[in-house]
Amino acid sequence: MLDALVIGAGPSGSRTAWNLAQAGYSTALIEEHERVGEPCQCAGLITPRTFDYLGYKRPILQEMNGARLWGPNDSFLDFQASETKALVIDRPDLDRSIANKAVEAGADLREGHRYLSHRRSEKGITATIQSKNGKIELETRLLIGSDGPASRVARDAGLSSKREVLAAFGADVEGYQGKDNHVDIFVGSELAPRFFGWGIPTGLNEGRIGMATVLPNRPKNFFRDYFHKGAPSKLLGGAKIVNRVSGLIPFGMRDPSYADNVLLTGDAAGMAKPTSGGGIYSGLISADAAFEVADKAFQKGTLDSKTLSPYQSLLKQRIGGELSKGYHLRRAFLSLTDDQLSEIISILGEPKVKEAIEKTGDLDYASLAAFSVLKAQPKLIKFAPLLLKPFI
Ligand SMILES: Cc1cc2nc3c(=O)[nH]c(=O)nc-3n(C[C@H](O)[C@H](O)[C@H](O)COP(=O)(O)OP(=O)(O)OC[C@H]3O[C@@H](n4cnc5c(N)ncnc54)[C@H](O)[C@@H]3O)c2cc1C
């Protein structure tokens, strides 16, 4: 019988398995794809803080210290910070590196294995896994659902809840005329309704372009338009797609994210930030919290939901506040018309407001910039008075 069975070798699952194996618990890490990290479903943008948190670094393709914001009615802003705000990385490499750490610590990584279902057993949980050679059953004391946005573990454990899910579509392109060390962001109902589009330079004339939106809008159709109309087309004249990327981004922390003998981490637990859609950093935070609670529960000798319940408080304490401010910001953003968006972009260009963003802009903690922007220009509150109230 295993101590822990982790489903999904994304960043949050591998980090959890790494922690558990390092602490001496017998741990299996199950990944449905043949190779961890593939196919890639990410733009690969993280903060330098993420490497600090992880405890080691991986190769960086570009350091980002600026952003260009392209909005409705030809509104435009170019931000230039004095420090590195984000890093462009090779996401499959990151995923593999964390899974390798788990394996080095003693976890049993099984690629090409898909979790199908689980049932409760006398001593814990029996999970049914599909392997190339047929179905197998694994007995475990603790099941960890790190299986991403469409988590089956969450569903089977009765932890599914209604939440907003964005669909994203993008590509690696050759011939992208971005600006080195600058992220391009596209907003407005024509280009990216209800979220935003992005362009990230990755090398000489190369970049990652994409957009996310809320269904029934189809991200693929908007993405196709990027080559023909509006601000993105200016940067994509003659560009060629070399690799497509798509995926889902769920918003809304699952509460609870635990059940008898079950914990959820990362996207399965709703860790993606509603402001940027990023979920690597917050997923790692949830992985460490899951490990801490599991470790105590193992030592106590019981893994019932009551014993695992401190997990929710840890999530709330460590990242919940920022996620909840992010929902407020997202709702405020959703309430804006295109004309209001372009008006806001022109206000953000006022020197003191721009300076506030350049100083405090932070992908992981967007609420810091929101707060400093409202402080620098309180008239912005008129755009969503009730929703922006938590920031003043
Ligand atoms: C297009 C796009 C761009 C993004 N860009 C960024 C970005 O730039 N920066 C950022 O921080 N975040 C980004 N995100 C979000 C980020 O990718 C996720 O938040 C992050 O991957 C969550 O990590 P995770 O470990 O929880 O889940 P995942 O990384 O989704 O890993 C889940 C793993 O579980 C496996 N799995 C699923 N079901 C099963 C099963 N039944 N059996 C076995 N294995 C299973 C999957 O194959 C996968 O490997 C982006 C998302 C999308 C869709």
Q: What's the CA-to-centroid distance between 269 and ligand 1, angstroms?
A: 12
Mutating to test ligand 1, I would choose from 6, 29, 31, 257 the residue with most ligand atoms within 8 A of its C-beta, which is 31
pLDDT at 390 over 90: no
- Omega prior to 256 cis, within 30 of 0: yes
Structure tokens at 287: 């992985």
The structure's pTM equals 0.97
Asked if residue 240 and residue 172 are part of one domain, the reply reads yes
- Here the CATH number for the domain that contains residue 115 is 3.50.50.60
What's the whole-number mean pLDDT along residues 298-305? Answer: 97
Quick check: is 363 in a domain? yes
What's the whole-number mean pLDDT along residues 367-391? Answer: 87
Asked if residue 29 and residue 19 are part of one domain, the reply reads yes
Q: Whose CA is nearest to atom 19 of ligand 1?
A: 279
Where does the pLDDT of residue 294 fall: very low under 50, low under 70, confident under 90, or very high at 90 and above? very high
Domain around 334: 327-391
- Three-state secondary-structure class, residue 304: coil
Q: What integer pLDDT is reported at residue 122 of this predicted model?
A: 86
Q: What integer pLDDT is reported at residue 286 of this predicted model?
A: 98
pLDDT at 297 over 80: yes
Asked if residue 209 and residue 111 are part of one domain, the reply reads no
- Three-state secondary-structure class, residue 267: helix
The rounded distance, in Å, linking the Cα atoms of 44 and 257 is: 26
Asked if residue 30 and residue 128 are part of one domain, the reply reads yes
pLDDT tens column, 14-49 = 999 999 999 999 999 999 999 999 999 999 999 999
Quick check: is 315 in a domain? no
What's the whole-number mean pLDDT along residues 284-304? Answer: 98
CB 37 less than 6 A from any atom of ligand 1: no
CB 287 less than 6 A from any atom of ligand 1: no
Asked if residue 208 and residue 241 are part of one domain, the reply reads yes
Mutating to test ligand 1, I would choose from 16, 32, 166 the residue with most ligand atoms within 8 A of its C-beta, which is 32
- Which residues contact residue 109 at a Cβ distance below 8 angstroms, ignoring those fewer than 6 apart? 9, 17, 28, 29, 31, 36, 99, 102, 103
CB 328 less than 6 A from any atom of ligand 1: no
Quick check: is 313 in a domain? no
Q: What's the CA-to-centroid distance between 13 and ligand 1, angstroms?
A: 10
CB 155 less than 6 A from any atom of ligand 1: no
- Here the CATH number for the domain that contains residue 59 is 3.30.9.10
Asked if residue 209 and residue 70 are part of one domain, the reply reads yes
Asked if residue 180 and residue 229 are part of one domain, the reply reads yes
Q: What is the 3 state secondary structure string of 205-227?
A: CEEEEEEEEECCCCHHHHHHHCC
CB 257 less than 6 A from any atom of ligand 1: no
Where does the pLDDT of residue 384 fall: very low under 50, low under 70, confident under 90, or very high at 90 and above? confident
pLDDT tens column, 346-377 = 999 999 999 999 999 999 999 999 999 999 99
pLDDT at 388 over 80: no
pLDDT at 389 over 90: no
Asked if residue 210 and residue 77 are part of one domain, the reply reads yes
Quick check: is 318 in a domain? no
CB 172 less than 6 A from any atom of ligand 1: no
Q: What are phi and psi of 39, to 5 degrees?
A: -75, 150
CB 72 less than 6 A from any atom of ligand 1: no
Number of domains present in the structure of the chain:
3
For the chain, the average pLDDT equals 96
Q: What integer pLDDT is reported at residue 292 of this predicted model?
A: 98
Q: Whose CA is nearest to atom 41 of ligand 1?
A: 115
Q: What integer pLDDT is reported at residue 377 of this predicted model?
A: 93
Asked if residue 98 and residue 157 are part of one domain, the reply reads yes
What's the whole-number mean pLDDT along residues 119-147? Answer: 96
Quick check: is 269 in a domain? yes
Asked if residue 198 and residue 301 are part of one domain, the reply reads no
CB 44 less than 6 A from any atom of ligand 1: yes
Quick check: is 157 in a domain? yes
Asked if residue 256 and residue 240 are part of one domain, the reply reads no
Q: What integer pLDDT is reported at residue 391 of this predicted model?
A: 75
Q: Whose CA is nearest to atom 52 of ligand 1?
A: 42
Quick check: is 322 in a domain? no
Q: What integer pLDDT is reported at residue 295 of this predicted model?
A: 98
Asked if residue 383 and residue 260 are part of one domain, the reply reads no
pLDDT tens column, 54-75 = 999 999 999 999 999 999 999 9
Query: 232, 250, 268: which is the final residue of a domain?
Result: 250
Amino acid making up residue 129: I
Mutating to test ligand 1, I would choose from 41, 136, 243, 363 the residue with most ligand atoms within 8 A of its C-beta, which is 41
What's the whole-number mean pLDDT along residues 112-130? Answer: 96
Quick check: is 317 in a domain? no
**Residue with tokens 């794809």, as numbered in its chain:** 33
Q: Whose CA is nearest to atom 18 of ligand 1?
A: 279
